[in-house]
Amino acid sequence: MPSFAVSGYNAGLLFSSSISVVVLGLMLFMSVRLYAGNRKRAYRNLLISLAFIFIHHFLQLTLSIGLLPGASVLAFIGKLLQVSAFIVMNFAVFELYYRRRPRTRLWFFGLLLAAFLIAAGGALPGASAADAGLAERMRHTPVLDGYMLVLPLLFALMFGPHIGQRRKYMAGLLAAFLSQLFVFANKYGTSGWNFEIAAELMQVVYYVLIFMLLFERVVELLTSAYRSSITDGLTNLYNRRYFVGQLERALRSGKPVGVIFCDIDNFKRLNDTHGHHRADGVLKQVAGIIQEETQGSGLAGRYGGEELVAFVAGPALAGMQTAESIRARTEKETLVTLSIGLCVAMPGIGLGAEALLKRADQAMYQSKTTGKNRVTDYAELPDAGEIPFGPPARRGRSGAH
C-alpha cells in the first residue's frame, strides 16, 4: 500500500499544483472556446501545451503522495512534458501576434527534437532498462534541466521584442527562468525543500502571467473584430449602419443635432487622372479632417463612395461652424474641395436619422449645383418644407463630381 503522508514539501507542492490547475483550467477553457470558433494554429498549440502541462502536474501530484509506483520513470516523463509544453506554449503566444514563417517552423521542430534527443541521450547512454543506474539517470537529467534553463533566455531574445505585451511576456519568462534555476540548485547544488517550494511558486507566477497575457490578447482581438465590423476599412470612419444608429441615439438626447453631408468635388476626375491609389489617399485625408473636427462633439462616418457624413450635438450654431471648418481645412490641406449640406434638428422636432440625412443630402446637392466648395444649410432652401421623409435619395451625380 502506498503511503499518503504529506510532508512539508509535498504540502507546498500540493498547494502550488492546485493553484496551477485552476489557472490552467481557465486557460484551457478559453483555448477550447477560441479553437472552436477559429481553428488557428496558435489556439491548437495552446491546447497541446496545456494538455502536456496538466499531465506534468498530475504526475507531480501522484509522486508527492506516492500514489503510483515507478517514481523515476514518472519524473522523467513529467520533465520531458514540461520542457515540450514550455516550447509549444511560447510559440503559441508568438503566433497570437504573427503568422508562423518557415524559419519559425524550423526553430519550433528543432527545439522539440533537441529536447527529445537530450532526454534520450541523458537517460539511456548505452544502458538497458535493467541497468542499475538507469533509474538514477531518469530522475536526474542535468542536460535536460540545463536545456530548460536556457530556453527562457532564448525565447526572450527570439520573441520578446515582437510580442505586443512585452513586459508581461518578459516577466513570465523571468519567472520560468527562476523556477528552473531553483530546480537546478536543488538537484545539483544545495538541496532543500525551500528551493523546491520556490520553484513551484515561480511556476505558478509564470502561469498567471501567461493567463493574463492570453486574456488581454483575446480582449484585443475581440475589440479589433468589433471595431472592424463598425468601421470602414479604407477611411477608418464608422460605417453607414453604425453611424445611423448613433445618430438616432443623439437625436434622443434632447440636444440640437447638426447633420453634415459632404461630397468630394470632382472626385471622378481625380480618380481618372491620378489613379485609385492617389484618390484613396485623398479620401483618407479628408476623412481624417472630418474625424478631427467632430471629435468630442459628434461622430464621423462614410456613407458610400466619396460621400462622408458627420453629426455634432450641441448649440445650434455648432453644426455650421464645424461644417465650415471642415470645408476650409479641406480646401487648404488637400487637393480637393467639398460640397457640404447641413441640416440641424432641434429637440422635439420629431425627425429620424434617415430623414435628417435626406435633408442634409438635399442641401449638399444644392452646394454641388451652385458652384461647389461651399456649405448650404437646409433651412435656406426655398422648398425645405416640401421634401418628403425617407431614405436619402441616391442620385447619379458622378458626372458632376
DSSP for 306-366, written as a single string: TEEEEEEESSTTHHHHHHHHHHHHHHHHSS--EEEEEEEE-TTS---HHHHHHHHHHHHHH
297 part of a folded domain? yes
Crossing angle for the helix pair 8-37 and 193-230, to the nearest 10 degrees: 20
Weakest-pLDDT range from 17-26, 171-180, 308-317, 385-394: 385-394
Of 230, 253, 288, which residue is a domain's last? 230
Same domain, 385 and 347: yes
pLDDT for residue 384: 61
Is residue 308 a contact partner of residue 237, using CB atoms and an 8 Å limit? yes
The catalytic residues are 306
State the burial class of residue 255 (Cβ atoms within 10 Å of its Cβ: 0-12, 13-18, 19+). middle
Weakest-pLDDT range from 196-200, 315-319, 320-324: 196-200
Same domain, 46 and 177: yes
pLDDT for residue 394: 39
Same domain, 176 and 314: no
Q: Nearest Cα to 213, choosing from 105, 57, 90?
A: 90
Render pLDDT for 63-77 as a digit per residue (tens, 0 to 9). Answer: 666 555 555 667 677
Same domain, 336 and 253: yes
223 part of a folded domain? yes
The three cell numbers of residue 220 are: 484585443
4 pLDDT above the threshold of 50: no
Q: Cell 519524473 maps to which residue?
A: 75
Same domain, 226 and 244: no
73 part of a folded domain? yes
Same domain, 224 and 368: no
Same domain, 116 and 186: yes
Total domains in the chain come to 2
Of 196, 230, 264, which residue is a domain's last? 230
309 pLDDT above the threshold of 80: yes
CATH of the domain at 354: 3.30.70.270
First to last CA, the chain: 90
Same domain, 150 and 245: no
Of 230, 261, 284, which residue is a domain's last? 230
Same domain, 253 and 188: no
Q: Using a CB cutoff of 8 Å and minimum separation of 24, what contacts does 216-219 make?
A: 216/165, 216/168, 217/96, 217/97, 217/164, 217/165, 218/30, 218/34
The dihedral over CA atoms of 345, 349, 352, 354, expressed in degrees to the nearest 10, equals -50
Which residue segment(s) compose the domain that 307 sits in? 240-400
User: Is the whole-model pTM more than 0.85?
Assistant: no
| H helical segments located in 124-262 | 134-139, 142-158, 166-188, 193-230, 240-251
3 part of a folded domain? no
Same domain, 203 and 119: yes
pLDDT for residue 143: 84
DSSP for 20-31, written as a single string: HHHHHHHHHHHH
Question: If pLDDT is split at 50, 70 and 90, which confidence band does 142 have?
Answer: confident
Question: If pLDDT is split at 50, 70 and 90, which confidence band does 287 have?
Answer: very high
235 part of a folded domain? no
Q: Which amino acid is at 268?
A: K
220 part of a folded domain? yes
Same domain, 93 and 204: yes
Same domain, 249 and 200: no
Checking DSSP bridges between strand 298-304 and strand 307-313, what pairing results, if any? antiparallel
127 part of a folded domain? yes
pLDDT for residue 124: 56
Q: Cell 515507478 maps to which residue?
A: 70
43 part of a folded domain? yes
